[in-house]
Amino acid sequence: MPKLDCSATNCTYNKDKLCAKGDILVRGSSAEKPSETCCDSFIGAGRDCYCNSSANGKEKIAVACEAINCVFNENRSCTAKHIGISGTKAHSSSETECASFQNR
Ligand code: SF4
pLDDT of residue 59: 86
Ligand 1 lined by 72 (C-beta under 6 Å): yes
CA of 92 to the centre of ligand 1 (A): 19
pTM for this structure?
0.91
CA-74 nearest atom, ligand 1: 3
pLDDT in tens, 9-51: 999 999 999 999 999 999 999 999 999 999 999 999 766 555 5
CB atoms within 10 A of CB 67: 24
Angle (CA) 11 53 89, round 5°: 15
pLDDT of residue 55: 73
Question: Best substitution site from 100, 103, 104 to test ligand 1's pocket, by max atoms within 8 Å of Cβ?
Answer: 100
pLDDT in tens, 48-101: 555 555 578 888 999 999 999 999 999 999 999 999 999 999 999 999 999 999
